[in-house]
Structure 1
Amino acid sequence: MTEPLYLERGAGYGPLLWGPAFAVVGALVELLVGDRPHWFMWAVVALGLLVLTSVWVYARRRFLTVRVTGEELWQGQQRQPIAAITDIPGATDNTDVVTPTGARVLGGGWSAPHKYQEVPLRLADGSVVVAWARDAEALRTALRTAMRHCDT
C-alpha cells in the first residue's frame, strides 16, 4: 500500500475512554457522599458504555474515513481511481464544474456527511460526483498532487 497523501479518520480512539471515565467519576461521587460505591454496577456501566462507544467509533472509522493515495481516493468503503478524475474545482476557481442536483455522492450516502464539506469532481466520462472531507481545501490539494503523479 502506498503512503497516503491525505488521511482523515472518521473518529479517533479517545471516545472509548468516556464510558470508563464516567463510571470512575460516578464511583468517586458515591465515595465523597459517604455511601459505599456499587463497584459491580459501575463496572457494568463502564463496560456497557465502552461497548456502545466502540460500535460508534468502529462505524465512523469505517464509513467516514477519507484517504488519498497516488492511485485512489477512498471515501468510506468506496474507491475512486485518481486516473478517472479530470477536474477538481477550487473554492476560488472559476471553473464550470457545478454540482448538479442528484449527483452521486462518493461513499454511498445520499449527501455528504454532516459537518463535512463537499468537493465536486468531474470524471473522465463527463459525470460529476461529490467527494467530501472536513478540510475540503486539503482534500483538493492532495487530489491535485495525486493527479500530477498519475499523469507522469
Structure 2
Amino acid sequence: MTFKVKINGIFDPCCLSAIYHASTNANRSKKLWRSLKNVHNTISGPWAVCGDLMLSWIFEEKKGGRPHTLAKSLDFMDCMQECDLMDTIFTGNKFTWCNGRRRRWRISKRLDRVITNDDWYLNFWSEQEGYSDIIKEVWDQQI
C-alpha cells in the first residue's frame, strides 16, 4: 500500500509504502520488488518503504539456522538500487524476529526495516530546528 502524506512543518508531501508480511516465496517477492519499481516510476520527492520485508539483507542480519546466502538478497538489492533507496540506520536490537526456540534451535533475523530515498533525508534534516545554524558552524570551522 502506498499513500501520500503531508506533515505540516516537517515535509513537503511525501510517499510512504507500507508492507506487511512480504512473502518468503521467491516468485511472490519478485512481484513485490516489481511493484516497488513501478511505484518509484510514478512518484517524485521523499519516499519511504517500511514494514515486514521477510528478508535479511546481509549475513550479519541472521543468527542461527542455515547461513544467509547473498543470492536470496540479489533481487531486493537490485530493487533498492533501481529505486534509489537506502537502508536507514536504526538503534535497538539488531534482530526484529525470532522463532522462539531455545539455544541451538533459535533463529533470529532482521526482517523489518525502513528504506528511504535521498529526498526523504534531505527534507527531514533541512526542516529541523537549528539545521542551518549547525551547517553554518561546520562550514565556518578551520581545518
Give the TM bin, normalised by the shorter chain: under 0.3
Compute the TM-score of the two structures, normalised by the length of structure 1: 0.19
Larger radius of gyration: 1
Structure (1 or 2) with the greater helix fraction: 1
TM-score, normalized by length of structure 2?
0.20
